[in-house]
Structure 1
Amino acid sequence: MYRYDEFDHAFVASRVAQFRDQVERRLSGEIAEEAFRPLRLMNGVYLQLHAYMLRVAIPYGTLNSRQMRMLAHIARKYDRGYGHFTTRQNIQYNWPRLKDTPDILAELASVEMHAIQTSGNCIRNVTADHFAGAAADEAADPRPYAEILRQWSSVHPEFSFLPRKFKIAVTGAPHDRAAIQVHDIGLHLKKNDKGELGFDVYVGGGQGRTPMIAKKIREFLPEEDLLSYITAVMRVYNLYGRRDNKYKARIKILVHETGVEKLSAEIETEFNALKNSELKLPEADVASIAAYFAPPSLPARAEGWTNLAAWKKADPAFARWVDQNVKPHKHPDYGMVTISLKPIGGIPGDATDAQMDLVADLAEEFAFDEIRISHEQNIILPHVALADLEPLYRALKPAGLVTANSDLITDIIACPGLDYCALANARSIPVAQAISERFGAPERQAEIGELKIKISGCINACGHHHVGHIGLLGVEKKGAELYQITLGGSADEHSSIGEIIGRGFEPEKVTDAVEVVVNTYLGLRLSKDETFLQAYRRVGPQPFKDALYGGNTAEAA
């Protein structure tokens, strides 16, 4: 993984010192909250419903054990003993005191971490496939390019005050695990017939009030042109993006209102003026950054296959965990392990200080000191020998970290909702817990198969409900909470926005409604191999509307 150079250390340290002075002035009353707000947001500090919240960047979801231990330490010393991992592969602390935030940032800086550009109208944390560098199906590791984009975008003088926040995601595999088509810019790294690397470029995706799937505007952009082309996109957006209405300020609105062809032409004109400038990526610089992401030397561990078969036969719970939470690695003797942060009845994405410390220890012992955070709010150990899966499982089990539900119905994405967020209309956490408990039996989850539920407590869609196979949106109506159901969303290479099925459901009825949807799917699927999403795309919404509303077209409208 990337290591800070002398400039990085000095830059982050100066930002900490600057913010310390700003906090002291705010606490003394020298500056008012209105003036302080943009200053704190530039350093990842929000004012939530009950307290301040600090969002810490985990660039492209990659960290090591030393950094994970620091996150645990901060949770223990400055918060309430836990942190919340988010859909941007970051971590949030919900209860820090404002006076402590400079000390937190200083401690983060000691392990090469920060909270810069985790908020504000700037380029946010660049995200990537959580299996990057390990997945058997990828063309190349996308993280070096995410790091190049991070360095280029950090406090970029031209792009620090954009019309609205801006999000970039990168994947290097044909199966998109980074949700690139629901980002402002999505980059698909691939190889051509000559073995050269380049990017398909998607622009204008996003969720929130106006969900849209991104449009592909460039086929196979050469690697050397990455920064030139992304700069061209950003300049066009910065010039034409609306600043008069924050609800129409995202680049997706610009794409929609201007049209793909016209906007692409504007971008190409700007790109042609930049392509031979200092922004052209030298091969040596790319190689230098890529060297930081060289995979660990993985010795052959052929005994793992024999041992694993015996362990699975002896312990059905372990077998379920391996089958569900361990994915194929580039090296046949290794696997990529998902440590689920979705215990049955638990809060999706939360991890205690003790759990984080344990993961750090186990990453050192079993995973070559590499840890990833997925946008699905789980922790990944990307390089684990099959021969080490059983001792890893035994170590994780007492900490409640062996829930075998990756990609299943209880692997729910959820935002903090009205329990924490001042923008929320409804609670996400209790709904996620109730659904998890209803469907938590292993046999029930196995019967249902792959099904992604995503829950947001407001239209801002931090829980990605628009692209859930089943999406739940919390809304407020006449002072009461309701949950709107969408079906058929997806965030993979065949992305789609879910369709609203009908009127919302009260909190006490929403879990029953989800069960009706699930049972309807089970009754109409052609075989056990037909997933929920496949079945929905085959039959459409009507059978689900009929089941939920009993043929009442007014309620289903």
Structure 2
Amino acid sequence: MAKTLTARDGLEDGPARKKPVSKKPNGQWAIDGKTPLNGNEEWKQEDDGLNVRERILSTYSKEGFDSISNHDVHGRFRWWGLYTQRKPGIDGGKTATLSDAELEDKYFMMRVRLDGGQLTTEQARVIGEISRDFGRNTADVTDRQNIQLHWIEVENVPEIWRRLEAVGLDTTEACGDVPRVILGSPVAGIAKDELFDPTPVIREIKDRYIGDPAFSNLPRKFKTAITAHPSQDVIHEINDISLVGVEHPELGLGFDLWVGGGLSTNPKFAERLGAFVTREQAPDVWAGVTSIFRDYGFRRLRNRARMKFLLADWGPEKIREVLETEYLGYKLADGPAAPTPRESGDHIGVHEQKDGNYYIGAATTVGRFSGTKLIELADLLESVGSHRLRTTVYQKFIALDIPGDKVPAVVQGLNDLGLAPMPSVFRRNTMACTGLEFCKLAIVETKNVAAEVIADLEQRLADVEDQLPEKLTLHINGCPNSCARIQTADIGLKGQIITVDGEQMPGYQVHLGGELADYTNDGAGNVGRTVRGLKVPQRDLADYVERVTRNFLAHRSSDTQPFAAWAHEADEELLK
């Protein structure tokens, strides 16, 4: 029987392990010991990030921003979902030359953690009221199912936490070198075609391990995705650990285990371990893989401190062996791969639930929303007897439990709120990160630019809208870190300062043909293609997307050829 890992199972108090000799220390606790090899590791060991909560409540909220210590404001605050946001008016060309202190404002972004993207209407209303009262009405839906508020002052954090916790919400470990929000199928428990409801697994992992000091000092962030829907709607290929629903021929329903995915400047898809995980085993398997990352992950260099680098060094066979022998104490059964999805996982439109009611997926415009609209959304759903909604990894909302005779009214109400249940191709498939507006890492603007481009393309391409594939994705990122998953988009845009005719201006490097292992490419993921010398000025973005889209329609091999497949075959001139 698997044991439950707790804080007592940390390296110092756990069983003795063999310690192979490392030629060059990488900061792997189980091999090199726990002596910090950089400044980040020093302050993380000096005081656990979870401990800053008490200082926020007792000191910083009373004495103000200037009272916050450097390692707290630029480090430990993240353990409670708080980052300083970018000071307005600093252009992207200065991002790389100014210090954090010079770039930041005395306001915070606050990330509300929504594991599985699950919300009640009461919770949505409370977030909306917090946004209205303390966040200048900002409430952006992220592509990791969270809601982000901006303009938060440290003086108001205790009251915000009080309101959130009163309805069962929190910001615990929403950022930082910890297990981040657990992605989950947004139709878990309601979809007619799901294999099973994985919500109990997500809840058990969160209840047992989130906020546990055993996992509050990881080498870097650790991302989890769990689904049992056939569309595999949680981008499992690019998470540190993923559990994907599958049916074992002898053992029944459970999960296929994936590890080591991630994008940023060194993209890598996760790999299967070939192991079948039962629903009962899943929390302990999650804890075991997370412990491997904690104990063996590379800590010396921050740019290599992710699970994907350990996977590249060890390979999936060794990851599985160490998981079974050092952390679980038993072998996992071999298992089959989950079938390739045959439908989109964004859940846009009207769909019948297993109970006879309906759920309605509706697109935001690149995640941009507001507190007052969140309150109005809660009011709309409650007016027809619904009390649940979900967020998705595609910056969308899903309204649940809609009676059949109320569907038309809810569809109209969603449209009135700027949420489109039947969006255009580009409104449906365009995503954007936070960008220059609030992010200290950003080089260019994203969300406002994306909104303008979408509106422009809806007019420019109206004559060919019926020829466009359902999935034609445009992802816009403000820097190289790929929060908007540019390497997995048909058209991915990485923000940078470019030079045109001797003039510097905001622009984008273009990635084409990125895709996840989904129904459009028969299960083979690809991080896309770059075209030599192709950089698009921000001012010409709509021109470029229209041009490459029309080239695709004119030159694809068939009406069913996906954009990504065409982009990898097309002559470079057609991609410029």
Mapped to 2, the partners of 1:254 and 1:14 lie a distance apart of 29
Q: 1:85 aligns with which of 112, 126, 141?
A: 141
- Secondary structure at the counterpart of residue 349 of structure 1: coil
Mapped to 2, the partners of 1:328 and 1:392 lie a distance apart of 13
Offset from partner CA, 1:215-267 (integer Å, 9 cap, x none): 00133212222223222212222222111111111000111122222333222
Structure 1: segments with no counterpart, 5+ residues: 1-12, 277-323, 343-347, 550-557
1:355 lines up with 2:373 in the alignment? yes
Partner of 1:545: 572
User: How many equivalent residue pairs?
Assistant: 481
Given the superposition, is the C-alpha separation of residues 510 and 197 from structure 1 closer, same or farther in structure 2, using an over 3 Å criterion?
Answer: same
Contact 2:178 2:218 in 1 (8 A): yes
CA RMSD of aligned residues (A): 2.6
Report the Cα offset of residue 74 of structure 1: 0.9
Q: Which shifted more, 68-77 or 492-501?
A: 492-501
Mapped to 2, the partners of 1:409 and 1:506 lie a distance apart of 21
Mapped to 1, the partners of 2:392 and 2:311 lie a distance apart of 28
- Secondary structure at the counterpart of residue 474 of structure 1: strand
- Secondary structure at the counterpart of residue 189 of structure 1: strand
Partner of 1:326: 349
Given the superposition, is the C-alpha separation of residues 30 and 356 from structure 1 closer, same or farther in structure 2, using an over 3 Å criterion?
Answer: closer
Contact 1:472 1:483 in 2 (8 A): yes
Query: Higher helix proportion, which one?
Result: 1
Contact 1:520 1:544 in 2 (8 A): no
Report the Cα offset of residue 272 of structure 1: 4.2
Q: Which shifted more, 33-42 or 198-207?
A: 33-42
Residues 123-134 of structure 1: matches in 2 within 5 Å? 123-134=179-190
Q: 2:540 aligns with which of 509, 521, 524?
A: 509
1:335 lines up with 2:366 in the alignment? no
Partner of 2:416: 398
Q: 1:487 aligns with which of 506, 509, 512?
A: 512
Partner of 1:23: 60
Partner of 2:46: none
Given the superposition, is the C-alpha separation of residues 473 and 239 from structure 1 closer, same or farther in structure 2, using an over 3 Å criterion?
Answer: same
Contact 1:129 1:178 in 2 (8 A): yes
1:59 lines up with 2:115 in the alignment? yes
Partner of 1:228: 284
Report the Cα offset of residue 329 of structure 1: 2.8
Partner of 2:468: 448
Contact 1:82 1:353 in 2 (8 A): yes
Q: Which shifted more, 91-100 or 404-413?
A: 404-413
Partner of 2:482: 461
Contact 1:490 1:496 in 2 (8 A): yes
Report the Cα offset of residue 208 of structure 1: 0.6
1:521 lines up with 2:552 in the alignment? yes
What letter is aligned with 1:116? T
Given the superposition, is the C-alpha separation of residues 46 and 71 from structure 1 closer, same or farther in structure 2, using an over 3 Å criterion?
Answer: same
Mapped to 1, the partners of 2:287 and 2:293 lie a distance apart of 10
Mapped to 2, the partners of 1:31 and 1:341 lie a distance apart of 36
Mapped to 1, the partners of 2:425 and 2:546 lie a distance apart of 17
Contact 1:410 1:436 in 2 (8 A): no
Given the superposition, is the C-alpha separation of residues 127 and 147 from structure 1 closer, same or farther in structure 2, using an over 3 Å criterion?
Answer: same
Mapped to 1, the partners of 2:151 and 2:267 lie a distance apart of 31
Partner of 1:48: 85
Residues 298-309 of structure 1: matches in 2 within 5 Å? none
Offset from partner CA, 1:190-219 (integer Å, 9 cap, x none): 233457322100000011111111000133
Partner of 1:305: none
Mapped to 1, the partners of 2:437 and 2:65 lie a distance apart of 30
Mapped to 1, the partners of 2:275 and 2:330 lie a distance apart of 18
Given the superposition, is the C-alpha separation of residues 134 and 367 from structure 1 closer, same or farther in structure 2, using an over 3 Å criterion?
Answer: farther
Given the superposition, is the C-alpha separation of residues 164 and 142 from structure 1 closer, same or farther in structure 2, using an over 3 Å criterion?
Answer: same
Structure 2: segments with no counterpart, 5+ residues: 1-49, 88-106, 333-346
Partner of 1:419: 437
Report the Cα offset of residue 475 of structure 1: 2.0
Given the superposition, is the C-alpha separation of residues 525 and 133 from structure 1 closer, same or farther in structure 2, using an over 3 Å criterion?
Answer: farther
Partner of 1:472: 493
Report the Cα offset of residue 89 of structure 1: 0.6
Report the Cα offset of residue 492 of structure 1: 4.8
Offset from partner CA, 1:434-469 (integer Å, 9 cap, x none): 320222246643331321211111111111111112
Given the superposition, is the C-alpha separation of residues 63 and 443 from structure 1 closer, same or farther in structure 2, using an over 3 Å criterion?
Answer: farther
Mapped to 2, the partners of 1:497 and 1:513 lie a distance apart of 21
- Secondary structure at the counterpart of residue 436 of structure 2: helix
Given the superposition, is the C-alpha separation of residues 248 and 371 from structure 1 closer, same or farther in structure 2, using an over 3 Å criterion?
Answer: same
- Secondary structure at the counterpart of residue 517 of structure 1: helix
Given the superposition, is the C-alpha separation of residues 31 and 421 from structure 1 closer, same or farther in structure 2, using an over 3 Å criterion?
Answer: closer
Contact 2:222 2:240 in 1 (8 A): yes
Contact 1:396 1:402 in 2 (8 A): yes
What letter is aligned with 1:459? P
Offset from partner CA, 1:30-80 (integer Å, 9 cap, x none): 552334433321211101112321111112100111111111101111121
Contact 1:61 1:373 in 2 (8 A): yes
What letter is aligned with 1:225? Q
What letter is aligned with 2:568? P
Report the Cα offset of residue 380 of structure 1: 0.4
Report the Cα offset of residue 415 of structure 1: 0.5
Contact 1:410 1:435 in 2 (8 A): no
Report the Cα offset of residue 546 of structure 1: 1.6
Offset from partner CA, 1:474-532 (integer Å, 9 cap, x none): 1234764221111222235433322223332111222222122211211133554x153
Q: Which shifted more, 17-26 or 214-223?
A: 17-26
Mapped to 2, the partners of 1:396 and 1:201 lie a distance apart of 37
What letter is aligned with 2:220? R
Query: Higher strand proportion, which one?
Result: 2
Given the superposition, is the C-alpha separation of residues 520 and 492 from structure 1 closer, same or farther in structure 2, using an over 3 Å criterion?
Answer: same
1:110 lines up with 2:110 in the alignment? no
- Secondary structure at the counterpart of residue 213 of structure 1: coil
What letter is aligned with 1:506? P
Partner of 1:438: 456
- Secondary structure at the counterpart of residue 325 of structure 2: helix
1:378 lines up with 2:396 in the alignment? yes
Report the Cα offset of residue 403 of structure 1: 5.9
Offset from partner CA, 1:314-372 (integer Å, 9 cap, x none): xxxxxxxxxx9424334385432112212xxxxx2121223211211222233631100
Mapped to 2, the partners of 1:407 and 1:511 lie a distance apart of 14
Mapped to 1, the partners of 2:465 and 2:374 lie a distance apart of 27
